[in-house]
Structure 1
């Protein structure tokens, strides 16, 4: 296998990159400045040494605990539970949430061999019991796995009468047309309707 074929094959293993995109990226890198390629290679080679999960919430960070967990101006009565570290970044970019986060490390998926014991539920329960939380916000993805995970969280917290358990609303996007919405999105929108 040539060096170019090897690079294309490795690039194609990245999520969202197919063989054609991998080939375009590889040819772009061949024509790019060598200093850029060296810096990119160094960034890739050292990323796991520089970025790691926060020991408290599980989000990716370069310092431990992460800046969000260390920020005492945040609302420590709210805990938002997400599936993946990138979900924290997405929610933070909205500017609408100022509480704390807990990253599960995935969603329950029996078909993929992922059960509750494979995710950070024990750590989540410990944080909740030791914290001063009043609201648990379940922000799992609106998928079968995300719904299963949300139901499991609600189940393991059912005896905690001191907690309000909420779930992110899901439904139609702003500016979207009903005719382009799929059945599941429409059904979720109808079930999650609010008084106007």
Structure 2
């Protein structure tokens, strides 16, 4: 059974299938926006949904290495970059929806809002830190930076994860609704602990 699953993961169509699956939320949101099916406040729905999918993508990306090691599925490594790129894609949509639908691309107002409201500042900081990770997610960047420097740079993802959860926590604080925040916080904490445990031998060197 495991051998068959590993063979399926190695299949050339596995990447195409993951690509389509990652694109489904965007397709649903685009269809909903075009057909007025996003509820009474579509702008808020889009901002919230793109943020949710960014967090989910971050969880899935961080889960690749622990699951690969625990389950003995080295084939999973080839999907990590795609998941990371889609996480950034939804993060970019989240920022665009806020900038356009909430702020009307009024850049002075956006800058003031980021400085004034801590949860937006934290979320924007997470997006800024995620940008260099995305730009250096390709093989050329690894060769250019060197493996060790590339690895250290990409450990910023731990900071991004913490900032993303804090952003979501502060956003939900006004509604006094912390159930979802707890789910993401526990999931990301477990994933980060597993990854940090894997890195201990490297960090001691």
Asked if TM exceeds 0.5, the reply is no
Tell me the TM-score normalised to structure 2 length.
0.28
Q: Which has the higher helix share?
A: 2
Largest Rg, 1 or 2: 1
Q: Which has the higher strand share?
A: 1
